[in-house]
Amino acid sequence: MRLIILGAPGAGKGTQAEVLSKKLDIPTISTGEIIRNAIRQGTDLGKEAKQYIDRGLLVPDDVVIEIVKDRLTQDDCKNGFILDGFPRTVPQADALTKMGVTIDKVLSIEVAEEKIVERISGRRQCSKCGATYHIVYKPSKEENICDLCGGELIMRQDDAPETVKNRLKVYHEQTEPLKDYYQSKGLLVVAYGQEEVADTTKEVLKALGVV
Ligand code: ADP
Ligand code: ZN
Protein backbone atom coordinates (compact mmCIF):
# COMPACT_ATOMS: atom_id res chain seq x y z
CA MET A 1 0.00 0.00 0.00
CA ARG A 2 1.17 3.53 -0.77
CA LEU A 3 -0.26 5.62 1.97
CA ILE A 4 -0.19 9.26 3.01
CA ILE A 5 -1.05 10.20 6.59
CA LEU A 6 -2.41 13.70 7.18
CA GLY A 7 -3.23 15.29 10.51
CA ALA A 8 -2.51 18.27 12.72
CA PRO A 9 0.72 18.32 14.72
CA GLY A 10 0.26 15.99 17.68
CA ALA A 11 -2.60 14.07 16.06
CA GLY A 12 -0.59 10.87 16.34
CA LYS A 13 0.54 10.45 12.73
CA GLY A 14 3.95 9.15 13.68
CA THR A 15 2.58 6.74 16.27
CA GLN A 16 0.04 5.23 13.90
CA ALA A 17 2.56 5.16 11.07
CA GLU A 18 4.85 3.05 13.25
CA VAL A 19 2.06 0.55 13.97
CA LEU A 20 0.99 0.36 10.32
CA SER A 21 4.55 0.02 9.16
CA LYS A 22 4.99 -3.15 11.22
CA LYS A 23 1.58 -4.53 10.36
CA LEU A 24 1.90 -3.96 6.62
CA ASP A 25 5.66 -4.49 6.46
CA ILE A 26 6.35 -1.29 4.57
CA PRO A 27 8.64 1.57 5.60
CA THR A 28 7.53 4.88 7.07
CA ILE A 29 9.01 7.98 5.57
CA SER A 30 8.74 10.83 8.05
CA THR A 31 10.04 14.10 6.68
CA GLY A 32 10.03 15.53 10.22
CA GLU A 33 12.28 12.69 11.41
CA ILE A 34 14.60 12.99 8.42
CA ILE A 35 14.95 16.71 9.07
CA ARG A 36 15.52 16.25 12.82
CA ASN A 37 18.18 13.62 12.10
CA ALA A 38 19.91 16.04 9.77
CA ILE A 39 19.82 18.67 12.52
CA ARG A 40 21.27 16.22 15.07
CA GLN A 41 24.05 15.39 12.63
CA GLY A 42 24.70 19.02 11.81
CA THR A 43 24.55 18.59 8.02
CA ASP A 44 23.98 21.51 5.63
CA LEU A 45 20.37 20.44 5.23
CA GLY A 46 20.03 20.36 9.01
CA LYS A 47 21.47 23.84 9.38
CA GLU A 48 19.11 25.29 6.80
CA ALA A 49 16.04 23.47 8.10
CA LYS A 50 16.64 24.39 11.74
CA GLN A 51 15.75 28.05 11.19
CA TYR A 52 12.30 27.04 10.02
CA ILE A 53 11.48 24.06 12.19
CA ASP A 54 12.35 25.82 15.46
CA ARG A 55 9.90 28.59 14.65
CA GLY A 56 7.12 26.20 13.71
CA LEU A 57 7.36 27.12 10.04
CA LEU A 58 7.46 24.73 7.12
CA VAL A 59 10.79 23.94 5.56
CA PRO A 60 10.75 25.21 1.92
CA ASP A 61 8.97 22.94 -0.56
CA ASP A 62 11.98 22.37 -2.83
CA VAL A 63 14.04 21.11 0.12
CA VAL A 64 11.50 18.55 1.34
CA ILE A 65 10.53 17.49 -2.18
CA GLU A 66 14.17 16.65 -2.87
CA ILE A 67 14.38 14.62 0.36
CA VAL A 68 11.30 12.57 -0.48
CA LYS A 69 12.23 12.07 -4.13
CA ASP A 70 15.55 10.64 -3.05
CA ARG A 71 14.07 8.44 -0.31
CA LEU A 72 11.38 6.95 -2.55
CA THR A 73 13.94 5.61 -5.01
CA GLN A 74 15.40 3.34 -2.32
CA ASP A 75 14.75 -0.38 -2.59
CA ASP A 76 12.61 -0.83 0.49
CA CYS A 77 9.88 1.40 -1.00
CA LYS A 78 9.16 -1.03 -3.84
CA ASN A 79 6.21 -2.74 -2.15
CA GLY A 80 4.72 0.38 -0.67
CA PHE A 81 5.40 3.02 1.96
CA ILE A 82 3.78 5.34 4.45
CA LEU A 83 4.37 9.04 4.05
CA ASP A 84 4.15 10.69 7.46
CA GLY A 85 4.21 14.47 7.25
CA PHE A 86 4.50 14.75 3.48
CA PRO A 87 2.91 16.30 1.48
CA ARG A 88 2.11 19.28 3.66
CA THR A 89 1.33 21.80 0.91
CA VAL A 90 -0.44 21.65 -2.45
CA PRO A 91 2.85 22.19 -4.37
CA GLN A 92 4.32 19.20 -2.48
CA ALA A 93 1.31 17.07 -3.45
CA ASP A 94 1.68 18.14 -7.07
CA ALA A 95 5.37 17.29 -6.95
CA LEU A 96 4.52 13.78 -5.79
CA THR A 97 2.26 13.34 -8.80
CA LYS A 98 4.99 14.69 -11.08
CA MET A 99 7.39 12.10 -9.67
CA GLY A 100 5.00 9.51 -11.07
CA VAL A 101 4.06 8.21 -7.64
CA THR A 102 0.55 6.82 -7.40
CA ILE A 103 -1.05 6.90 -3.98
CA ASP A 104 -3.59 4.28 -2.89
CA LYS A 105 -5.05 6.03 0.13
CA VAL A 106 -4.79 9.21 2.15
CA LEU A 107 -5.61 8.84 5.82
CA SER A 108 -6.52 11.91 7.82
CA ILE A 109 -6.31 11.52 11.61
CA GLU A 110 -8.66 13.99 13.28
CA VAL A 111 -8.15 15.22 16.82
CA ALA A 112 -9.93 18.08 18.61
CA GLU A 113 -7.74 21.17 18.84
CA GLU A 114 -7.90 21.37 22.65
CA LYS A 115 -6.48 17.84 22.90
CA ILE A 116 -3.53 18.70 20.72
CA VAL A 117 -1.79 21.11 23.05
CA GLU A 118 -2.19 18.67 25.96
CA ARG A 119 -0.78 15.84 23.89
CA ILE A 120 2.15 17.78 22.56
CA SER A 121 3.14 19.04 26.01
CA GLY A 122 3.67 15.41 27.11
CA ARG A 123 5.77 14.37 24.13
CA ARG A 124 9.40 13.41 24.72
CA GLN A 125 12.08 12.27 22.33
CA CYS A 126 15.39 10.50 22.83
CA SER A 127 18.25 12.94 22.31
CA LYS A 128 20.43 10.12 20.97
CA CYS A 129 18.33 7.80 18.79
CA GLY A 130 15.16 9.84 18.23
CA ALA A 131 12.73 7.29 19.68
CA THR A 132 9.47 8.95 20.73
CA TYR A 133 7.55 8.76 24.00
CA HIS A 134 4.66 10.41 25.79
CA ILE A 135 4.64 10.88 29.56
CA VAL A 136 1.01 9.68 29.76
CA TYR A 137 0.28 7.66 26.63
CA LYS A 138 3.61 6.00 26.00
CA PRO A 139 5.93 6.39 29.01
CA SER A 140 9.48 5.06 29.05
CA LYS A 141 10.22 2.35 31.62
CA GLU A 142 12.55 4.64 33.52
CA GLU A 143 11.70 8.32 33.76
CA ASN A 144 13.51 10.43 31.15
CA ILE A 145 15.63 7.49 29.93
CA CYS A 146 15.21 5.90 26.50
CA ASP A 147 14.15 2.22 26.64
CA LEU A 148 16.10 1.48 23.49
CA CYS A 149 19.46 3.15 23.98
CA GLY A 150 19.60 4.68 27.46
CA GLY A 151 19.76 8.20 26.00
CA GLU A 152 18.22 11.20 27.74
CA LEU A 153 14.63 12.08 26.82
CA ILE A 154 14.01 15.71 25.97
CA MET A 155 11.19 17.86 24.64
CA ARG A 156 11.33 18.79 20.98
CA GLN A 157 12.19 22.46 20.64
CA ASP A 158 9.22 23.02 18.34
CA ASP A 159 6.89 21.50 20.94
CA ALA A 160 7.08 24.66 23.06
CA PRO A 161 3.52 26.07 23.43
CA GLU A 162 4.18 29.28 21.44
CA THR A 163 5.65 27.31 18.55
CA VAL A 164 2.80 24.81 18.63
CA LYS A 165 0.37 27.70 18.04
CA ASN A 166 2.32 28.60 14.91
CA ARG A 167 2.37 25.01 13.72
CA LEU A 168 -1.39 24.73 14.11
CA LYS A 169 -1.87 27.93 12.13
CA VAL A 170 0.41 26.65 9.40
CA TYR A 171 -1.46 23.34 9.41
CA HIS A 172 -4.85 25.00 8.93
CA GLU A 173 -3.60 27.35 6.23
CA GLN A 174 -1.31 25.13 4.20
CA THR A 175 -1.92 21.47 4.95
CA GLU A 176 -5.63 21.15 5.65
CA PRO A 177 -6.54 22.08 2.04
CA LEU A 178 -4.96 18.76 1.08
CA LYS A 179 -8.00 17.01 2.55
CA ASP A 180 -10.20 18.49 -0.19
CA TYR A 181 -7.45 17.93 -2.72
CA TYR A 182 -7.39 14.18 -2.03
CA GLN A 183 -11.11 13.93 -1.36
CA SER A 184 -11.72 15.12 -4.90
CA LYS A 185 -9.45 12.35 -6.14
CA GLY A 186 -11.48 9.83 -4.13
CA LEU A 187 -8.50 8.87 -1.97
CA LEU A 188 -9.36 10.36 1.41
CA VAL A 189 -10.35 8.26 4.43
CA VAL A 190 -10.80 9.66 7.93
CA ALA A 191 -10.11 8.21 11.38
CA TYR A 192 -10.85 9.91 14.70
CA GLY A 193 -8.08 9.89 17.30
CA GLN A 194 -9.04 8.20 20.59
CA GLU A 195 -7.64 8.44 24.11
CA GLU A 196 -5.70 5.20 23.77
CA VAL A 197 -3.23 4.52 20.98
CA ALA A 198 -4.64 1.01 20.42
CA ASP A 199 -8.17 2.37 20.02
CA THR A 200 -6.99 4.88 17.45
CA THR A 201 -5.27 2.03 15.62
CA LYS A 202 -8.59 0.17 15.45
CA GLU A 203 -10.22 3.23 13.88
CA VAL A 204 -7.33 3.59 11.47
CA LEU A 205 -7.46 -0.04 10.34
CA LYS A 206 -11.22 0.22 9.88
CA ALA A 207 -10.85 3.39 7.81
CA LEU A 208 -8.20 1.77 5.64
CA GLY A 209 -10.15 -1.46 5.28
CA VAL A 210 -7.22 -3.45 6.67
CA VAL A 211 -8.10 -6.36 8.97
P1 ADP B 1 4.26 17.35 13.57
O2 ADP B 1 3.38 16.62 12.59
O3 ADP B 1 3.98 16.96 14.97
O4 ADP B 1 4.26 18.83 13.35
P5 ADP B 1 6.68 16.56 12.12
O6 ADP B 1 7.81 15.80 12.69
O7 ADP B 1 5.89 15.91 11.05
O8 ADP B 1 5.77 16.90 13.39
O9 ADP B 1 7.19 17.96 11.57
C10 ADP B 1 7.94 18.83 12.34
C11 ADP B 1 8.45 20.01 11.52
O12 ADP B 1 9.26 19.54 10.43
C13 ADP B 1 7.37 20.85 10.83
O14 ADP B 1 6.82 21.82 11.70
C15 ADP B 1 8.18 21.47 9.69
O16 ADP B 1 8.97 22.54 10.13
C17 ADP B 1 9.11 20.35 9.28
N18 ADP B 1 8.51 19.53 8.21
C19 ADP B 1 8.21 18.19 8.29
N20 ADP B 1 7.66 17.75 7.14
C21 ADP B 1 7.58 18.83 6.30
C22 ADP B 1 7.09 19.02 5.00
N23 ADP B 1 6.54 18.03 4.29
N24 ADP B 1 7.17 20.27 4.47
C25 ADP B 1 7.72 21.28 5.16
N26 ADP B 1 8.19 21.17 6.40
C27 ADP B 1 8.14 19.96 6.98
ZN1 ZN C 1 17.25 6.27 22.39
Measured over all CA atoms, what is the biggest interatomic distance in the chain, rounded to whole angstroms? Answer: 47
Q: Counting atoms of ligand 1 from 1, which one is nearest the CA of 56?
A: 14
Q: Check residue 38 and give its pLDDT.
A: 94
Q: Check residue 137 and give its pLDDT.
A: 86
Domain 2-26+79-111+171-208 listed as CATH 3.20.20.150 = no
Q: Which of 144, 141, 108 is nearest to 128 (CA)?
A: 144
Ligand number nearest to the C-alpha of 150: 2
**Residue 169, phi then psi, degrees to nearest 5:** -60, -50
Q: Give the CA-trace dihedral at 180, 183, 185, 187, to 10 degrees.
A: 140
**How far is residue 98 CA from its own chain's centroid?**
22
Catalytic residue selected from 13, 71, 105, 124 = 13
Q: Check residue 135 and give its pLDDT.
A: 93
Q: Check residue 113 and give its pLDDT.
A: 87
Evaluate whether 176 touches 170 at the Cβ level (below 8 Å): no
Tens digit of pLDDT per residue, the chain (211 long)? Answer: 999 999 999 899 999 999 999 999 999 999 999 999 999 899 999 999 999 999 999 999 999 999 999 999 999 999 999 999 999 999 999 999 999 999 999 999 999 988 898 889 999 999 999 999 999 888 999 999 999 999 999 998 899 988 999 999 999 999 999 999 999 999 999 999 998 889 999 999 999 998 7
- For the question of residue 167 being annotated catalytic, the response is yes
Evaluate whether 203 touches 22 at the Cβ level (below 8 Å): no
Nearest CA to ligand 1 atom 1: 9
pTM of the model: 0.91
